[in-house]
């Protein structure tokens, strides 16, 4: 079968329906996307109501429009606000975006005497649960919109993980992955990229450098569209634009699923490219050496104000990620194990905060050759 490097749009609504043929077709389409591109769009937002997405994006926009000193009241490296130039990040140049994030929204209801959730019980618990979410007082309804969206992302992810398990005929059945995510440590992150400043003379900016995500699965929503988001599937000749399709959410696999599936599935490199309005005339002849080329002219990359809402899903931090547990679809005599088993928390986002403190490099930094960012 010829490999297609398009980012497909998949309607997953039939997965849980009565029609086994339609359900199997969903599973096949997802499997193909995960094997080839590691990215797919969800028709009809995967069933997430439009108003939830709209409200969460509007709340994020409203927050970013507040004066800086008001935003700084909820500043935090882990949960809360990070201003432009507020931190180091090897993937997203911090001079090009501001960020607000939260983690689990149900921590008021969990059993804090469970060592998993008890910050005094282990460095890992401290890392994930030592801080509460910080909610801004404005705009009105911010917290409600974010919490509803977070919960919708949790249930969409559970559904995707069930589709993934079936697509891989995982040994534990449909709940194989979901079982290791019952106490997940996922982050919801709003990223606002201010308009590019042409006076600084940049021809093309990488708003997000080429990287793979540390997650099992990531789900993105955009205020306007993917605006310069590109993917480079293994084996493809050039970067592909993520298509601008209305009423969708974008799903991509991260490194965790790649390791879990013993490389049967992709954690595909992606980046966000933009050039300041009006700079296109100078490209390609005006491209300074060393600046990545290959931004297709069709992409809406005008360097305008861009906002994305990204759900970085990560399994329980103590879950063992072992490809051999998945079964014969990923490890077999013909396909020997490539990775040792590891605990999820060793490779998740927050682990980088600890790495920073110890002066260790950011795992997400990719070298210019085609090596992976492990
Ligand atoms: O903002 C976006 O559209 C993509 C961001 C991204 O890929 C990331 O933060 O991992
Ligand atoms: Fe990413």
For the segment 86-117, what is each residue's pLDDT rounded down to a tens digit? 887 778 888 899 999 999 999 999 998 899 99
Q: How many CB atoms lie within 10 A of CB 125?
A: 20
Q: Is the pLDDT reported for residue 372 higher than 50?
A: no
| Dihedral sign from CA coordinates of 62, 212, 352, 148 | positive
For the segment 25-72, what is each residue's pLDDT rounded down to a tens digit? 999 999 999 999 999 999 999 999 999 999 999 999 999 999 999 999
Q: Which atom of ligand 1 is nearest to the CA of 92?
A: 9
From 98, 188, 191, 250, the mutation candidate for ligand 1 (largest count of ligand atoms within 8 A of CB) is: 191
Residue nearest to ligand 1 atom 5, measured at CA: 208
Torsion of CA 50, 55, 60, 66, to 10 degrees: 150
Q: Which ligand is nearest to the CA of 226?
A: 1
Q: Which atom of ligand 1 is nearest to the CA of 227?
A: 3
Backbone angles phi, psi at 159, to 5 degrees: -65, -45
Q: How far is the CA of 334 from the centre of ligand 1 (A)?
A: 35
For the segment 245-268, what is each residue's pLDDT rounded down to a tens digit? 888 999 999 999 999 999 999 999
Residue 75: which of 105, 101, 93, 103 has the closest Cα? Answer: 101
Residue 330: which of 181, 167, 157, 124 has the closest Cα? Answer: 167
Q: Is the pLDDT higher at 201 or at 124? A: 124
Q: Pocket residues for ligand 1 (CB within 6 Å)? A: 92, 191, 208, 213, 220, 229, 270, 272, 308, 310
pTM: 0.90
Q: Which atom of ligand 1 is nearest to the CA of 207?
A: 1
Q: How far is the CA of 221 from the centre of ligand 2 (A)?
A: 12
Q: How far is the CA of 328 from the centre of ligand 1 (A)?
A: 33
Q: Is this complex's ipTM strictly greater than 0.90?
A: yes
Question: Domain 9-357: which topology?
Answer: Jelly Rolls (2.60.120)
Residue nearest to ligand 1 atom 10, measured at CA: 213
What number of CA atoms fall less than 13 Å from residue 62's CA on the CB side? 16
Q: Which ligand is nearest to the CA of 250?
A: 1
Q: How far is the CA of 121 from the centre of ligand 2 (A)?
A: 31
The pLDDT-based confidence of 369 (bands split at 50, 70, 90) is very low
Residue nearest to ligand 1 atom 3, measured at CA: 308
Q: Is the pLDDT reported for residue 128 higher than 70?
A: yes
In angstroms, the CA 96 to CA 84 distance is 7
The structural domains of the chain, with segments of one domain joined by +, span 9-357
Q: Is the pLDDT higher at 125 or at 286? A: 125
């Amino acid at each position: 079968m010829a490999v297609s490097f398009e980012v497909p749009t998949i309607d997953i609504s039939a997965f849980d329906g009565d029609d086994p043929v339609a359900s199997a077709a969903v599973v096949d389409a997802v499997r193909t996307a995960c094997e080839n591109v590691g990215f797919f769009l969800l028709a009809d937002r995967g069933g997430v109501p439009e108003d939830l997405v709209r409200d969460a994006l509007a709340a994020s926009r409203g927050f970013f429009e507040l004066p800086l000193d008001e935003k700084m009241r909820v500043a935090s490296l882990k949960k809360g606000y990070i201003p432009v130039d507020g931190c180091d990040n090897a993937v997203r140049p911090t001079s090009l975006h501001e960020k607000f994030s939260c983690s689990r929204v149900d921590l008021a209801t969990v059993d804090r005497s469970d060592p998993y959730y008890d910050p005094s019980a282990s460095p890992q618990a401290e890392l994930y649960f030592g801080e509460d979410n910080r909610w801004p007082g404005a705009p009105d309804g911010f917290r409600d919109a974010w919490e509803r969206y977070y919960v919708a992302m949790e249930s969409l992810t559970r559904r995707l993980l069930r589709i993934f398990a079936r697509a891989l005929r995982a040994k534990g059945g449909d709940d194989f992955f979901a079982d290791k995510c019952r106490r997940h440590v996922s982050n919801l992150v709003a990223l606002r990229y201010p308009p590019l400043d042409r006076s600084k003379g940049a021809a093309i900016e990488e708003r997000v450098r080429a990287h793979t995500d540390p997650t099992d699965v990531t789900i993105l929503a955009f205020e306007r569209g993917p605006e310069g988001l590109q993917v480079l599937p293994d084996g493809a000749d050039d970067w592909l634009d993520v298509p601008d399709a209305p009423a969708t959410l974008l799903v991509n696999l991260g490194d965790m699923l790649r390791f879990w599936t013993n490389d049967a599935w992709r954690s595909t490199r992606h980046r966000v490219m933009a050039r300041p309005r009006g700079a296109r005339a100078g490209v390609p002849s005006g491209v300074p050496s060393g600046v990545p080329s290959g931004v297709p002219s069709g992409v809406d990359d005008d360097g305008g104000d861009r906002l994305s809402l990204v759900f970085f899903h990560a399994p329980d931090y103590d879950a063992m990620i072992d490809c051999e547990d998945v079964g014969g679809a990923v490890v077999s005599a013909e396909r020997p194990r490539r990775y040792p088993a590891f605990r999820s928390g060793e490779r998740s986002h927050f682990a980088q905060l600890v790495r920073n403190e110890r002066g260790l490099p950011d795992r997400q930094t990719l070298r210019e050759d085609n090596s992976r960012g492990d």
